[in-house]
């Protein structure tokens, strides 16, 4: 297996994910030239499986291996790989989860001495039983679960990229018994996504069965992997939360796809990406030319957020920080950082809302910070009038965090960055959807009062047939040919989170957002126009055209005040930017830098997302240092070192 020495291509391959159709399109020229992609994939699966067993000091001839084989090419990859392991002495049982198996892969597996267990009574697999009773089918399923549970290693080749939505039928039953039902794996965050070593070890073929391949959702039962061996290029589920947490370690087989001119579905931020957001000082710089950040953060109740945002912004390569807030917070800020300037003045960016109470919180109505924020955000409201909207687009970028989120206008320009965590995103979407429903109901009421054409014009035959679907019809769900639900996660239809109006019983929760964060981030952008930074172990950044993720942070970063630090850092980076880098790119770079500072502070090698290993290349040395607890102030102290590492 040969690989290019082109470092730029390799970096692109390791930090880009491509949707299912794009991957198929990139495969086609290779298949047309007769490149044996299935054999290459199978060899990689067998290699990884043997390596995992060797790491556990288990010889192949002593190993019990189970293959969960679907009917398509993914099952073929698994069958050829399992055959190679059987030829090396492993005891391998293939469990056929569908009605057929890949013909040549099945033949190779049988020749290698592998055993077959068929679960579907309607299966038509040569030499295997079929037409058995429902009772026997149930017994076979229980046998399959028992055999797989007691195996040393399970190769998951049920679905690959061929199924969208939740698993159904036999695959769903197996995934529920052997894996998890839509929940993120509940285990310690270890460096390198190292396995706990418990049997059975799971090798996923291309993608874990049951995850949302293109959207990263967990729509139902799925099988978390110890290692995912992915082919050609990463799919979005390898980088998007929460599915990425079910992928385990990711090993990538480079098929040599031509990726130079192909737009990825998701880009993963790395140091080179983030370095573009760091403005190096110029020889003729003054404090104003290096960027001035204005803060409306902290409050009488939460003054500490003012200190954290001010210190973070000041440490993130800016020339000046201005602060507006209550006297108690002012005094604390000046005590911590006498360099901060108190009061109004010219700024290149704003950070608002961190440490400010949300509507409904105790004392929110009387909080002067909310009044200041509301007045500022009025200048960012788009109303569809070209003259006034031009002024809005000329406003400096603003980071809208925490208590400012419920003051966000209905429509804003893209230089507005909202930074919710999952709970805040749920509240924001519930409010936005309620407002959208109210507006729609109001418009419908008005339209009923306007005479229709039928009331004022002679009756004529319509130009189009009456039974044609309306362009305004809404798809509320469908079923794919393979029987998987097209609607998934919290989505009532593809890409849109489920929501009931104020009169309904269902409301989005933080857990709903965590189950399908990409759909929620995209919906928030769709409703507001803002650039969305959805915080998490892997942070998602969405604008009109791009999706970025950053998983540089260790789990130790989940600590009070870390979001305030992030807001200050992103605001500082935005204050430095010209037009060479977009708002979303800057926000994504801020998330990456935030994570890097936390990694330095905690001395941890663990990250929310781990760069894949390229199969066939020498693996990078990883020190696997777990690290230690930190507080938000520790992260601030490490920001200069993180910047130095990135620009180096």
CA distance 421 to 330: 27
Tokens 């969960």, residue?
68
Residue 468 lies in a domain: no
Q: Summarize pLDDT for 166-216 with one digit per residue, the tens.
A: 999 999 999 999 999 988 877 777 777 776 668 899 999 999 999 999 999
Structure tokens at 560: 């009070």
> pTM for the whole thing?
0.89
Structure tokens at 371: 């009044």
**509 C-beta neighbours (distance < 10 Å), count:** 15
Please report, in range form, the residues annotated as the binding site.
305, 355, 421, 535-539, 563-564
Question: Which of 79-83, 574-578, 589-593 comes out lowest in average pLDDT?
Answer: 574-578
Same domain, 253 and 298: no
- Please state, rounded to an integer, the average pLDDT across all residues of the chain: 88
CA distance 168 to 219: 11
What is the band of 495 on the pLDDT scale with cuts at 50, 70, 90? low
Same domain, 8 and 80: yes
* DSSP category for residue 495: T
Same domain, 261 and 289: no
Same domain, 544 and 599: yes
Q: Summarize pLDDT for 28-44 with one digit per residue, the tens.
A: 999 999 999 999 999 99
- When pLDDT is averaged across residues 527-539 and rounded to a whole number, the result is 97
Q: Helix/strand/coil (H, E, C) string of 413-443?
A: CCCEEECCCHHHHHHHHHHHHHHHHHHHHHH
Residue 488 lies in a domain: no
Total tally of structural domains belonging to the chain? 2
Same domain, 374 and 248: no
Residue 69 lies in a domain: yes
What is the band of 363 on the pLDDT scale with cuts at 50, 70, 90? low
Instruction: Find the CATH number of the domain harbouring 185.
Output: 3.40.50.10260
Q: Which of 232, 265, 298 is the last residue of a domain?
A: 265
Residue 104 lies in a domain: yes
Please report, in range form, the residues annotated as the binding site for (6S)-NADPHX.
305, 355, 421, 564
CA distance 512 to 491: 9
Q: Summarize pLDDT for 289-336 with one digit per residue, the tens.
A: 999 999 999 999 999 999 999 999 999 999 999 999 999 999 999 999
pLDDT at 486 over 50: no
In this structure, are residues 248 and 225 in contact, taking their beta carbons and an 8 Å threshold? yes
Q: Which of 265, 295, 315 is the last residue of a domain?
A: 265
Same domain, 168 and 33: yes
Instruction: Find the CATH number of the domain harbouring 314.
Output: 3.40.1190.20
Please report, in range form, the residues annotated as the binding site for AMP.
535-539, 563
């Amino acid at each position: 297996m040969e690989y290019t020495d082109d470092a730029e291509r390799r970096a692109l391959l390791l930090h880009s994910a491509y949707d299912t159709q794009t991957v198929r399109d990139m495969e086609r020229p290779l298949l047309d030239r007769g490149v044996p992609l299935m054999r290459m994939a199978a060899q990689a699966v067998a290699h990884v499986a043997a390596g995992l067993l060797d790491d556990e000091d288990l010889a192949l001839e002593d190993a019990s291996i189970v293959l969960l084989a679907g009917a398509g090419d993914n099952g073929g990859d698994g069958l050829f790989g399992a055959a190679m392991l059987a030829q090396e002495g492993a005891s391998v049982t293939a469990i056929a989860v569908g009605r057929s198996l890949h013909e040549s892969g099945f033949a190779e597996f049988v020749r290698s001495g592998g055993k077959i267990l068929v679960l579907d009574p309607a299966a038509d697999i040569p030499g295997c039983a079929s037409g058995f009773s429902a009772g026997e089918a149930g017994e076979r399923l229980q046998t399959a679960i028992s055999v797989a549970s007691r195996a040393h290693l399970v190769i998951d080749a049920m679905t690959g990229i061929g199924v969208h939505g939740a698993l159904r039928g036999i695959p769903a039953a197996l995934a529920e018994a052997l894996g998890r039902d839509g929940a993120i794996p509940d285990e310690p965050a270890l460096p390198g996504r190292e396995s706990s070593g418990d049997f059975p070890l799971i090798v996923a073929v291309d993608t874990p069965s049951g995850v949302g391949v293109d959207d990263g959702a967990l729509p139902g039962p799925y099988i978390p992997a110890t290692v995912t061996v992915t082919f050609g290029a990463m799919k979005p589920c390898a980088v998007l939360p929460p599915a990425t947490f079910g992928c385990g370690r990711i090993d990538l087989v480079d098929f040599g796809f031509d990726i130079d001119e192909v737009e990825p579905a998701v880009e993963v931020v790395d140091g080179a990406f983030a370095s573009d957001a760091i403005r190096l000082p110029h020889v003729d710089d003054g404090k104003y030319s290096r960027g001035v950040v204005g803060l409306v953060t902290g409050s009488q109740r939460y003054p500490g957020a003012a200190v954290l945002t001010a210190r973070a912004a000041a440490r993130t390569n800016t020339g000046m920080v201005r602060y507006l807030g209550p006297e108690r917070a002012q005094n604390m800020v000046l005590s911590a950082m006498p360099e901060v300037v108190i009061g109004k003045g010219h700024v290149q960016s704003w950070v608002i809302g961190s440490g400010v109470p949300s509507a409904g919180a105790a004392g929110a109505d009387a909080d002067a910070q909310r009044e200041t924020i509301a007045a500022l955000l009025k200048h960012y409201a788009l109303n569809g009038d070209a003259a006034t909207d031009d002024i809005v687009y000329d406003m400096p970028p603003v980071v809208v965090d925490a208590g400012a989120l419920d003051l966000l206008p209905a429509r804003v320009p893209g230089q507005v960055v909202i930074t919710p965590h999952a709970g805040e995103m749920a509240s924001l979407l519930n409010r936005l959807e309620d407002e959208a429903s109210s507006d729609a109901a109001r418009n419908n009421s008005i339209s009923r009062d306007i005479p229709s054409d039928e009331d004022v014009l002679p009756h004529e035959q319509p130009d189009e047939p009456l039974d044609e679907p309306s362009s305004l019809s809404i798809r509320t769900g469908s079923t794919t040919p393979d029987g998987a639900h097209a609607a998934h996660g919290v989505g009532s239809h593809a890409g849109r989170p489920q929501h009931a109006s104020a009169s309904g019983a269902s409301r989005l929760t933080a857990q709903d957002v965590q189950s399908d964060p990409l759909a929620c981030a995209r919906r928030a952008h769709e409703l507001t126009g803002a650039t969305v930074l959805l915080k998490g172990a892997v942070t998602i950044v969405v604008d009109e055209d791009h999706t970025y993720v950053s998983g540089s942070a260790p789990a130790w970063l989940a600590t009070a005040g870390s979001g305030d630090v992030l807001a200050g850092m992103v605001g500082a980076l935005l204050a430095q930017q010209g037009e060479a880098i977009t708002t979303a790119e800057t926000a994504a770079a801020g998330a990456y830098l935030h994570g890097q500072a936390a990694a330095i502070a905690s001395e941890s090698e663990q990250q929310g997302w781990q760069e894949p290993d390229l199969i066939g290349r020498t693996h990078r040395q990883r020190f696997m240092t777990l690290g230690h607890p930190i507080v938000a102030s520790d992260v601030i102290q490490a920001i200069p070192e993180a910047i130095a590492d990135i620009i180096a």
